[in-house]
Chains A and B, each alone.
Chain A
């Protein structure tokens, strides 16, 4: 038994393994949390929604992941006609692949040898959730939202991406109804790879523009 030492003793306020106990992180509900609960309970009480429907919707949203976007990117890398349709209307192209993206208005922006794209929402945290799932926490921070438009190349360097001077950076601020996905450039040395193999190279950050796809 791991804790059955004969010279065993406890410091006051320490866990059996000798670390200080961490304070619980539960705090009183915020104004907005209370409002969310009140509205949800009213909707249920009035028969507009059932708790099961709300749980199912949360489950559906949690099930969306960057893998959906990676599949779209891999298809575009493999099929020139699909890529043309994606750049023309990314919502329709995503639906064509069977992704239920609801009313999402999606624009795909293409990285090339001389253009790199970066997505941000300075006003809040707009993100193509219906395709890629929930945004990473840093995407919603004031630091990312303000610095991505003010000093995007410095931000990219902090993500490990040092953009050469000859590459033009295009920053896209999702200020209204559109959502954006970056179509990264297909990495060299991937000839003959299947769509599934290609999709495994596509990272979430490469579709936001803060990274590049993995090298094979």
Chain B
């Protein structure tokens, strides 16, 4: 059972590490990576909270739509938990 998530379609000011091209896209959690200091605070020299980080797998079809080069190829990226909404589990 792969857990489905959506990257929050936010555009806050300042340093973030959720790539623009993945915002609003849905994928599955490939693996949890542990907790890491939040780069959105680290970038400004602020005390940074540890945030859970996940590797999320997207299909190229999800990311690029009809313009995908090969729809079933995949793209994995690391995303912090506070950028993800859980969509509930579904059978792969």
Contacts and interface: CB of A to CB of B under 8 A. Distances in A.
Do A and B come from the same complex? yes
Interface of A: 105, 107, 122-123, 149-154, 165, 168-178
A169 B76 contact: no
B73 A152 contact: yes
Given A122-B19, A123-B17, A152-B69, A177 B75 contact: no
Contacts of A165: 70
Contacts of B80: 176
B78 A178 contact: yes
Contacts of A175: 17-19, 77-79
A130 B59 CA distance: 30
Given A150-B64, A178-B33, A178-B78, A173 B19 contact: yes
A177 B33 contact: yes
Contacts of A171: 73-76
Interface of B: 17-19, 21, 33, 36, 39, 53, 55, 63-64, 69-70, 72-80
A168 B72 contact: yes
Q: Chain A binding site: helix, strand, loop or mixed by DSSP?
A: mixed
Contacts of A169: 70, 73-74
Given A150-B64, A152-B69, A176 B75 contact: no
Given A170-B74, A176-B53, 9 more contacts: A168-B73, A173-B19, A173-B76, A175-B17, A175-B19, A175-B77, A176-B39, A176-B78, A177-B36
Contacts of A149: 21, 63, 75
B70 to A, nearest CB: 6
Contact of B69 (A122, A154, A174, A177): A154
20 contacts: A107-B55, A123-B19, A149-B75, A152-B69, A152-B73, A153-B69, A153-B73, A168-B72, A170-B73, A170-B75, A171-B74, A171-B75, A175-B78, A176-B39, A176-B78, A177-B53, A177-B78, A178-B33, A178-B53, A178-B55
Contacts of A176: 17, 36, 39, 53, 78-80
Listed from nearest, the 8 A-B pairs whose CB atoms lie closest are A176-B78, A173-B77, A169-B73, A177-B36, A175-B78, A175-B77, A171-B75, A172-B76
Contacts of B74: 168-171
